[in-house]
A = this chain, B = another copy of it.
Amino acid sequence: MDEQVPRDFETLRATILDRRESLPKRIAQIAAYALDNPDDIAFGTAASIAASAGVQPSTLIRFAQQLGFDGFTSLQQVFRERLRERNSSYDERLQALRAKAEGGAGHRAIFDGFVAAASTSLNDISRTLDDANLEEAIALLAKAQTIYVLAKRRSYPVATYIAYALGKLKIRNQLIESAAGLNAEMVSFATPADAVIAISFSPYAPATIEEARAISEQGVPIVAITDSSFSPLAQFARVWFEVAEADFAGFRSLSATMALAMALTVGVGEKRRDAGRRRKA
């Protein structure tokens, strides 16, 4: 018996490619289809796959048998296993990272912990972000004459990134910060024709809250990124996003907030470009 049944996808693939030349026409046809559409093989029924590949179900079974399987079903297992492994790798790796980080095995573990926290946060936010909310925020910001950016302490890096990106997109913006302690004055220039992006997480920096309150009392609409509906920022905001960042070693990730911030920024850029184009036309 020189027939070694390929148990994993890569071996199977190699075997098929190897024999390609010597396969009968219809078998070759289904072989090509299998390598091109492995997902279909994993999920389809013999009949549906055969139809998609343009052959008879029986041919599909002969193909499987020629490879040493005892039928289509066992061939299909290989294709399913492949999907399973590919898919689990990500979650499992995250799990492993977290476990290793918990175990405290040197500095690599710290790094892994931050990577895991960031990944988790990204997963969470892409699950929970509300599309309508995003549209509303972008629409609001796109109308603004000047976009003010307000964030301190832990959220400050996000603010600087937003300011950088807005600048690159040639969107007028003002980061509310001042070495000279002129924040209050800066805030007082904002009008209802402007808008604010405010970012703050618990424990909320008092200055951020205070400035957000002042600016909202002037009628300037606020888009807030914060961590719960109890956040004082949420009550001043016209639109607000709840972002739950995972933490590690006492520091919360910023990855989800960053992704959202970029989406807002670039979204505003696009919306303005579209509006401009429409006006010209």
The reply to whether A165 and B39 form a contact with Cβ atoms under 8 Å apart is no
The reply to whether A134 and B160 form a contact with Cβ atoms under 8 Å apart is no
A83-B83, A118-B258, A122-B115 known; A107 vs B249 contact (CB < 8 Å): no
The reply to whether A122 and B119 form a contact with Cβ atoms under 8 Å apart is yes
Residue of B nearest to A77 (CB): B43
Query: What is the CA–CA distance of A220 and B61 in the complex, to the nearest angstrom?
Result: 53
Tell me if A255 counts as interface (CB < 8 A to partner B).
yes
Contact with B along A145-176 (1 / 0, CB 8 A): 00000000110111011001100100000000
Give every chain B residue within 8 A of A90 (Cβ-Cβ): 86
Interchain nearest-CB distance for A234 vs B (Å): 20
Secondary structure call for the A interface: helix
The reply to whether A266 and B110 form a contact with Cβ atoms under 8 Å apart is yes
Query: Which residues of chain A in 110-131 are interfacial with respect to chain B, using CB atoms and an 8 Å cutoff?
Result: 110-115, 118-119, 122, 125-127, 129, 131
Interchain nearest-CB distance for A236 vs B (Å): 23
The reply to whether B86 and A118 form a contact with Cβ atoms under 8 Å apart is no
Interchain nearest-CB distance for A124 vs B (Å): 10
Q: Which of B86, B158, B161, B164 contacts A87 (CB 8 A)?
A: B86
Chain A interface residue count: which class? 35 or more
Interchain nearest-CB distance for A224 vs B (Å): 17
Give every chain B residue within 8 A of A43 (Cβ-Cβ): 80, 84
The reply to whether A112 and B126 form a contact with Cβ atoms under 8 Å apart is yes
A80-B43, A156-B164, A255-B255 known; A263 vs B87 contact (CB < 8 Å): no
Contact with B along A36-79 (1 / 0, CB 8 A): 00010001000000000000000000000000000000000000
Give every chain B residue within 8 A of A259 (Cβ-Cβ): 111, 114-115, 118, 255
Query: What is the CA–CA distance of A71 and B164 in the complex, to the nearest angstrom?
Result: 52
A97-B126, A254-B161, A254-B258 known; A134 vs B118 contact (CB < 8 Å): no
Query: What is the CA–CA distance of A113 and B90 in the complex, to the nearest angstrom?
Result: 18
Tell me if A138 counts as interface (CB < 8 A to partner B).
yes
Tell me if A135 counts as interface (CB < 8 A to partner B).
yes
The reply to whether A107 and B161 form a contact with Cβ atoms under 8 Å apart is no
List 7 tightest A-B contacts by C-beta distance, closest first: A111-B263, A157-B157, A157-B161, A114-B259, A107-B267, A114-B262, A255-B255
Chain A residues close to B by CB (< 8 Å): 10, 39, 43, 80, 83-84, 86-88, 90, 97, 104, 106-108, 110-115, 118-119, 122, 125-127, 129, 131, 134-135, 138, 153-154, 156-158, 160-161, 164-165, 168, 179, 248-251, 253-255, 258-260, 262-263, 266-267, 270-271, 274
- Give 6 CB contacts A-B under 8 Å: A97-B126, A110-B263, A111-B129, A111-B134, A154-B164, A157-B157
